[in-house]
Homo-oligomer: A and B are copies of this chain.
Amino acid sequence: MTYQELTDQIFEKKSYLCVGLDTDPARIPQHLKNLADPVFEFNRRIIDSTYDLCVAYKLNIAFYESLGPQGWESLRKTVHHIPNTHFTIADAKRGDIGNTSRMYAKTFFETFPFDSITVNPYMGRDSVQPFLNFPGKWVILLCLTSNTGSHDFQMIADKEGVHLYEKVILQSKEWAGREQLMYVVGATHPEQLVSIRAALPESFFLIPGVGAQGGDLEAISRAGWNPQCGMLINSSRGIIYADSTDAFDKAAREEALKLQQHMARFIGQQRG
């Protein structure tokens, strides 16, 4: 999916919502557990009840990997069930030396048909480049994450006062542009998001941390907005675990709808 196609989807649907399929088997409604593939069945119903309200789905790979081979089968079925109008994110936070990153890229771009993968920048340019070598695919680079540990290293400043997460931005701008590179910026850092937007006026940001992690949708939307919207705001637990009965998909839709309506109002205000 191209930058323009993603932007078009956002304005057509009046939504920049990404639904996070962090599907923990322990939190799946009891009656689904008797089915052959409970994780896929859960995801299928979440997708079917939310796809018109969101533009992207993010699958946190940890949850599938923890189930062994069966988990990868659930992952495969899920990603194939997502309509191809939607931007798909393998939230894998990978990154390794070149020949190894190439294998990870093959996994998520060839073995699985994801549009994008989250990548950890710690190992530097040659660990990210192999992912950028796949035309039409995206890298979403960790920049300033939503967790408290983001203060431990990402906030370290050099002698000119430039923080590590800002170094990641400055260097990575030389690796690829807005058509192939997005950035993870946690919703728990609205102040920094303003300066990150100034440093990257045209790029998309994947913004986790709204909802369960405490980020404020309105404040984040104001800080992150650009003329192409420029944001995918992710909610995982707040949507998919809204209810633990057989009505979980209806409850998920209600939560997604609240966020989408908020986004529609915000888009309306910005585009007046």
Contacts and interface: CB of A to CB of B under 8 A. Distances in A.
Interface stretch (A47-55, A104-112, A193-201): A104-112
Contact of A24 (B95, B103, B122, B152): B103
Given A152-B125, A154-B124, A147 B103 contact: no
Contacts of A171: 152-153
Interface string A88-120: 000101111111110110110001100000001
Interface of A: 22, 24, 60, 62-63, 65-70, 72-73, 76, 91, 93-101, 103-104, 106-107, 111-112, 120-128, 142, 145-154, 156-159, 164, 167-168, 171, 213
A147 B142 CA distance: 19
A103 B236 CA distance: 15
B66 A103 contact: yes
| 10 pairs of A and B residues whose beta carbons are closest in the complex | A124-B149, A124-B152, A62-B103, A69-B69, A126-B149, A159-B159, A66-B107, A122-B122, A66-B103, A97-B147
Most buried by B among A68, A91, A152, A154: A152
A204 to B, nearest CB: 20
Given A72-B68, A159-B159, A94 B153 contact: no
A122 B153 contact: yes
Most buried by B among A68, A94, A123: A123
Nearest to A106: B66
A145 to B, nearest CB: 5
A106 B60 CA distance: 15
Contact of A62 (B107, B142, B158): B107
B153 A111 contact: no
Contact of A142 (B123, B126, B158): B123
Nearest to A186: B97
A171 B69 CA distance: 36
A156 to B, nearest CB: 6
